[in-house]
């Protein structure tokens, strides 16, 4: 924990974004997580992504459950709306928030305990319902807040800090999300912002349910030699399958890309996702082959990262349900409660 607050002073040449804010304006108070926690890097990546997209902080709803991961929404976007909910129940609150105000950018932050154990049912159903949001799991494979028990995403055979092996099969949230119908699925690593920031940008701008599984090492309890979620292990065993870059509609695409097949995906808002595939056998638009690819590589002991699946034409919950186009808070009392005559008319239609 850090007791010294981060001072407000910033680099004299810190750039302003299109709405006149600096990256620092997207920060929150200083984190109380352990020094070196991967979750803080994920928060920093969210801050960078939102600042680079020039999104107004007050148009965000950030929701979370319980756990180290779920504390992190406090530490970014301090000028936005937030709800720290019950353990495993973030999806319910996110669903409610999104139904009530569809214009807000919704970020849900959860952890492997919050989503893969107590909240697994809620997780499955929010994916199904295609809530238009970014759902991030800070995945460290351990219960850090209760001092290092294995979580449901911990790999079989991986050991605790004291050396005891994990005897159970892991739940892979990426595979689940692919299977149940998420329209944007990616995996990344908290120690690789070069990959993570563009993924968050693309996920935020994706219409539909975007899921990011971010491996985020627990420095206190799961960053040792027997761990498969340590900084060293992930760096040694992870491979990006596709390099993703997100470009706003008016941005010139100038970056150089590694050799491989490059494909530009046009997003509904006019922005561009540039995908550089590093393995030609991989197709990020084919849900089944993506699932197979991820699982095959996983069986070989590898952690596949990058944008694994995207459907740019996806629909979201509001489209499926045909809801009203305006956020509910914009309705006047007369519209929300049109009176007895209208009610009588509705009742009459059922007779």
Partner 1 sequence: MNETDIHEPNYFHKVVDCQWACPAHTPVPEYIRLISQQRYTEAYMLNWDSNVFPGILGRTCDRPCEPACRRVRTEEKPVAICRLKRVAADNKGDVSGYLPRVPTEKNGKRVALLGSGPASLAVARDLLPFGYEVHMFEKDSGGGGMMRTQIPSFRLPLEVLEEEVDMILDMGVNVHFNHEITSMKSMLDMNFDAYFIGTGAPRGRDLELPGRAEVSDHVSIGIDWLSSVAFGHTSKIDGKVIVMGGGNTAMDCCRTAKRLGAESVSVVVRSAFEVMKASDWEKEDAMGEGIPIINNRPPKEFVHENGKLKGVIFECVEPVTGEDGRLRYEPSGEPDVFMEADHILMAIGQENHCPWIERDLGIEFDKWDCPLLDDITLQSTLPKVFFGGDSAFGPENIIWASAHAHQAAISIHLFCQGNDLKADRPPEGVNLISQKMGVHEWSYDSEFDPKERQLVPHADKKIALSDIKVEVELGFDEALAATEAQRCLNCDVQTVFTDKLCIECDACVDICPMDCISFVDNAEEIDLRQMLTAPAANLDQDLYVSGALNTGRVMVKDEDVCLHCGLCAERCPTNAWDMQKSVLHIPQLGSYAE
Residues lying near partner 1 in the complex (CB under 8 A): 1-14, 24, 30, 34-38, 40-41, 43-44, 190-191, 193, 217, 219, 223, 231-232, 235
Give min distance, CB of 1 to partner 1, in A.
Answer: 8
Using CA atoms of 156, 283, 266, 247 in order, give the dihedral in degrees to the nearest 10: 50
Q: Which is nearer to partner 1, 197 or 294 (CB)?
A: 197
Strands (E), 131-249: 133-139, 142-143, 149-150, 184-189, 209-215, 238-240, 242-247
Of 30 and 180, the one with the shorter C-beta distance to partner 1 is 30
Q: Residue 279 Cβ, how far from partner 1 at the closest point, in Å?
A: 21
Shortest separation between residue 291's beta carbon and partner 1, angstroms: 30
Q: Which two tokens stand for residue 131?
A: 């809530």
Rounded to whole angstroms, how far apart are CA atoms 73 and 302?
30
Taking every pair of Cα atoms in the chain, the longest distance, rounded to a whole number of angstroms, is: 71
Structure tokens at 231: 């900084």
CB nearer to partner 1: give 21 or 219: 219
| DSSP helix/strand/coil, 22 | coil
d(CA 245, CA 275): 7
Contact yes or no for 278/258 (Cβ under 8 A): yes
CB 151 → partner 1: shortest distance, Å? 20
Residue 308 and residue 187: Cα distance in Å, rounded? Answer: 7
CB of 11 to partner 1, least distance (A): 5
Classify 10 as helix, strand or coil. coil
Which is closer to partner 1, CB of 98 or CB of 305? 305
> Quick one: 89 or 193, whose CB is closer to partner 1?
193
CB of 227 to partner 1, least distance (A): 12
> 14 vs 343, which CB is nearer to partner 1?
14
């Amino acid at each position: 924990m850090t007791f010294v607050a981060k001072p407000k002073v910033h680099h004299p040449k810190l750039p302003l974004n299109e709405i006149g804010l600096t990256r620092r304006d997207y920060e929150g108070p200083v984190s109380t997580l352990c020094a070196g926690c991967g979750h803080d890097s994920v928060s920093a990546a969210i801050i960078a992504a939102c600042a680079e997209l020039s999104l107004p902080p007050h148009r965000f709803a950030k929701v979370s459950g319980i756990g180290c991961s779920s504390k992190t929404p406090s530490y970014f976007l301090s000028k936005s709306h937030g709800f720290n909910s019950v353990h495993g129940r973030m999806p319910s609150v996110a669903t409610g928030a999104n139904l009530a105000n569809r214009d807000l950018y919704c970020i849900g932050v959860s952890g492997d305990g919050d989503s893969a154990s107590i909240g697994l049912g809620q997780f499955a159903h929010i994916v199904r319902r295609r809530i238009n949001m970014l759902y991030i799991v800070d995945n460290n494979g351990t219960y850090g807040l209760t001092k290092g028990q294995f979580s449901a995403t911990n790999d079989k055979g991986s050991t605790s800090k004291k050396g005891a092996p994990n005897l159970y099969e892991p739940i892979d949230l990426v595979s689940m999300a692919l299977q149940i119908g998420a329209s944007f699925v990616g995996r990344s690593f908290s120690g690789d912002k070069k990959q993570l920031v563009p993924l968050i940008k693309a996920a935020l701008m994706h219409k539909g349910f975007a899921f990011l599984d971010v491996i985020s090492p627990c420095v206190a309890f799961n960053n040792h030699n027997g761990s498969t979620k340590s900084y060293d292990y992930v760096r040694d065993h992870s491979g990006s399958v596709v390099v993703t870059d997100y470009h706003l509609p008016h941005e010139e695409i100038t970056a150089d890309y590694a050799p491989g097949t490059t494909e530009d995906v046009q997003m509904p808002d006019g922005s561009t996702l540039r995908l550089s595939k590093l393995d030609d056998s991989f197709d990020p638009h084919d849900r089944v082959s993506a699932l197979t690819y991820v699982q095959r590589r996983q069986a070989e002991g590898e952690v596949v990262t990058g944008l694994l699946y995207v459907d740019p034409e996806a629909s979201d919950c509001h489209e499926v349900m045909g809801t009203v186009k305006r956020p509910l808070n914009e309705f006047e009392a007369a519209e929300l409660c049109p009176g007895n005559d209208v009610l009588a008319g509705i009742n009459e239609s059922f007779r």
